[in-house]
Chains A and B, each alone.
Chain A
Amino acid sequence: MTKYVLKRIGYLILVFFIVSFLMYLLYNLIPEDPARNELEPLKKSLKPEVYERMYQDLREQMGLNDSIIIRYGRWIGLAPEKESGRLNGLLEGNLGKSSYFKKTVVEVVKGPIGNTVFINIFATILALGITIPLGIYCAVHKNGKFDNAVQVLTIIGYSIPIYIIALVFIWVFAVILRWFPIGGMGTPGAEYTGMRAFWDKLYYISLPLIVMTFGSLGGMTRYVRSSMIDALSMDHIKTARAKGVKEKVVIYSHAWRNALLPVITLIIGWFLSIFSGSVIIENTFSLNGMGKLYISALNNHDYVLTLGIQMFYTVVSLVGALIIDLSYGLVDPRVRIDK
């Protein structure tokens, strides 16, 4: 087991470096010259020759003339910095400086990352809490009236893009019924503290949460249902029933444990998609999260920040994949992943 985990982690690190290098290459396609940006205000006051010399010096100083591998090494924190000679890159926690906010990326990201995690934790709990019981119920009462209704609803749920669901929900709950605010992260101007602030925040994110939950209901419920039906049609279920095991035990102990494995595979994809899916939700509801920050960074051509957030998404998806792989073994002892 330990060997397998180590192998997986080693592989993850390799993929991380490949992806981050690709990403860095991509960003280097942008025709942007930090040295020229720095000198632009001085251009008028300097003679052309002096300007040119200063520009070349600055390029040398910033290390822009070095090869892409060395620059990548500096950025990721594996090669020493030009001036200080110290390692100071992504791995040391330095993601660079945002050109738009004039702050380091870590400082810029601090607030939004908390919001995104806050929202996604609630969305996860809600979605799993609803879809798993619903999927099991539908599988057990297969082809019943309720099941058929849920089937039709879930097709709608996973076919319609989340922003259309969001528009409809805003229309119904925020515009017509006026139960929830249309967007934002808190009552403007209110200086709440403690629990009051928490409840206020929760009130503001409740509509986005409902939308995210509704959007994930479709795929998840169908998946839980179908894997549960597969599990229920196995022979050992018949045996268990024949033995006279209680139906509850049959469903929750005999069948559900078998149905869990494919469900976990889904949760990984879904877990990743809520992080990237919240790009749309956060922009629609103007929530101050990573997704909104990402879009505004792209719009502001703040590429250092974009790169940082992109790395965040990459790490989330890689770690998510690892966790799911490892949890296979925990859930299902038959899966001998160390083989």
Chain B
Amino acid sequence: MAKEKKQSIFGRLFGNRNKNVDIMVEEQIQSPGRMMLNNFLHNPLGMTGLIVFLCILLFVVVGPYILPIDLGDTDNTQQNVPPIQSMLSVPKALDGNIAAISPGPTFGAGCDKDGNVYMWGYTKITDTIDLKEIPEKVRQAHIVDIAAGYDHMVALDDANKLYIWGNKRLGQDRIPSQVTNSKAKIIQLEAGYQFSGVVLDNGEAYFWGNGNMCDVDVKPEYQGHIKKIAISTYNFCLLLDNGSVVYGGIQKDNAFTRIPAALSSGVVDIAATGETMAGVTEDGKIYVWGNGIHGEEKVPESESRPVELYGGRYHYTALMDNGDVFSWGDDSHQQATVPDSVNGAAIDTVYAGFYQNYAVDVNGKVHTWGLKGHAMGTDNMGRDIMTRIVNGGKVTMTVGAVSVIIALIIGVVMGGIAGYFGGKADMLIMRISEIVGGLPFLPFALLLSAIIGTRISVELRMYLIMVVLGVLSWTGICRLIRAQILAEREKEFVLAAQAMGVREGSIIFKHILPNVLSILLVEATLSFATCMLTESSLSYLGFGISPPTPTWGNMLTGANNSIVIQQYWWRWVFPAAIFGICTICINLIGDAIRDAVDPKSLGR
């Protein structure tokens, strides 16, 4: 044989296969299975489809372990965030020159020692409000402190004047006259969900904002003794000058008023997350109270003594007396995983908030950890699209696969019986299959799902969808198998088997069926795509698998309005793209298998 040039993978996949073949090679006899495999491997479209499909399959099989989904998880601070990775990107100009940093839900804000304000991350609140549009007055003022709320910004200049921009509709800019008229200097500035608060150097604290949601009034007896405030989503607590922690608002009894007794004296610092509050005492003990459901109350043991506390949305970060930092609580975005580089550097101060942490060392260098951004954005409930795509793909593919298997089993058994026995059985089965096949598919599936589906649990409903799809889509396979078996049963080997006394069931399924296996494979592949399409259509219309369980179909529910299509494009482009690619690949594979099985069909 002549020297055969070894082809590269690329050449094999996409190259020209009409090369001159040695007569010995060409005349070589191949088994049909080998020939099919060869045909398939030499079909560039089919192989591309197979490779891409395997990648997607790997993505949805392995993905859920890397990105596990919490079905109850929604977060109104992360709604409709586009795919960005810049939430922790502190501008270069701030490095070594930081006066203050304040993390917001999807952005960060900071000011340098020259009084300039910087914003990074996703700052668009609504169509018209973008926090990045810093008002001219703020640009000109010498800003010394800054605080980011949920949808508003508060800044303080060196002349003790407050500036507010962003969403002001809920009274976020109604600064009390006690603050504006006071001669006392503002020593602490905080911004919460829809309210803000300041501490003055005469020991008074004032809060303003959405009074309906937030407890904004301070009990008068504490005024004049307040050293520090800590703001949770709607509430706040106070650190008084006698070293005790009190709930500052006028609400009588809530989760935050039950302050641990140990915090009645000797408290050095307080902090709050969205749902909990915490205090640290002189002897380094940390006490957490409130509605901790993300592990905020599980304070890790540590040898060194915490001196300062900072709260994010569901996590705490503590600065130790030796300059180390540790975090605990919700770690869904690695916001409670302190990078190793931080614990080597001598940390001076930490700014934590929402899902972000900024640690500034003594040289002014910023170390960051936490939520950088969402790779594919978030939906209208603040859920990460990527996580939902990965987990939804698993559901969609499982439903597709199981319903195809159901359809295959019914179709093969029915088709086998009809084709082999003929006569009355054939007549009956074909009439049944005509009736089922004649039913308008989508309306009928909708109906079944609506009637039975509303009375059963979400999980059972998923199985119901699989069964409905399987039971409604077996007719095509049945007809195909019947036609094939009608052709095969006249052949000699069946006669031989009958003569040898092989049982009839055994003849159908052991002798005849293997001959139609390859065609079955084609049909199964193509039906798999169809079942996935149908499931997603049902889910898209709201009658398939219901949220919060994600599927590629129900992720697109509600995407058919211009606001979502245009402004929140990431909510439909990513699921639609991956689903489209997946079904295209499956169809390409199916076509390639058909071409491989039946070379005559090539070019059809």
Contact = CB atoms under 8 A, between A and B. Distances in A.
Interface in B545-559: 553, 556, 559
B560 A161 contact: no
Interface stretch (B106-114, B368-376, B509-517, B536-544): B536-544
A30 B451 contact: yes
B299 to A, nearest CB: 48
15 contacts: A15-B434, A15-B438, A29-B452, A142-B603, A159-B529, A159-B587, A161-B540, A161-B580, A182-B561, A229-B603, A230-B604, A283-B541, A310-B440, A317-B438, A318-B438
B169 to A, nearest CB: 28
Which of A142, A159, A182, A309: most chain B Cβ within 10 A? A159
Contacts of B497: none
B450 interface: yes
Interface of A is mostly: helix
A321 B588 contact: no
Contacts of A170: 560, 562, 565
B533 interface: yes
B507 interface: no
Interface in A279-314: 279-280, 283-285, 294-295, 298-299, 306, 309-310, 313-314
B540 A163 contact: yes
Given A29-B452, A143-B603, A275-B440, A164 B556 contact: yes
A316 B452 CA distance: 25
Contacts of B604: 225-226, 229-230
B566 A309 contact: no
Interface residues of A, number: 55
A161 to B, nearest CB: 5
B541 A279 contact: yes
Interface in A181-207: 182-183
Interface string A247-272: 00000000000000000000000001
Contacts of A162: 537
B215 interface: no
A176 to B, nearest CB: 8
Nearest to B588: A155
Interface in B432-453: 434-435, 438-444, 446-448, 450-452
A272 B455 CA distance: 30
B444 A168 contact: no
A128 B533 CA distance: 24
Contact of B565 (A27, A155, A167, A316): A167
Contacts of B584: 155-156, 159-160
A313 B565 CA distance: 31
Contacts of B553: 161
B560 A163 contact: yes
B576 interface: yes
B572 A167 contact: yes
A277 interface: yes
A306 B435 contact: no
Contacts of A175: 562, 565-566
Q: Which has the most chain A C-beta neighbours within 10 Å: B542, B559, B591?
A: B559
B256 interface: no
Contacts of A280: 442, 537, 540-541
A218 B431 CA distance: 30
Given A182-B561, A306-B447, A164 B541 contact: no
A44 B451 CA distance: 30
B392 to A, nearest CB: 14
Nearest to B561: A182
Interface residues of B, number: 46
A156 B587 CA distance: 9
Contacts of A310: 440, 443-444, 447
B583 interface: yes
Given A276-B443, A299-B542, A310-B444, 12 more contacts: A31-B455, A156-B580, A162-B537, A175-B562, A175-B566, A225-B604, A229-B603, A273-B441, A280-B442, A306-B447, A309-B443, A316-B440
A277 to B, nearest CB: 7
Contacts of B543: 298
A171 interface: yes
B440 to A, nearest CB: 4
Contacts of B438: 15, 19, 314, 317-318, 321
Nearest to B49: A155
B440 A171 contact: no
B328 interface: no
Interface string B199-214: 0000000000000000
Contacts of B541: 279-280, 283, 295
Given A15-B434, A167-B565, A226-B604, A294 B556 contact: no
A277 B442 contact: yes
B579 interface: yes
A298 B434 CA distance: 26
Contact of A317 (B440, B537, B559, B583): B440
Nearest to A166: B560
Interface string B556-582: 100111100110010010001001100
Contacts of A299: 542
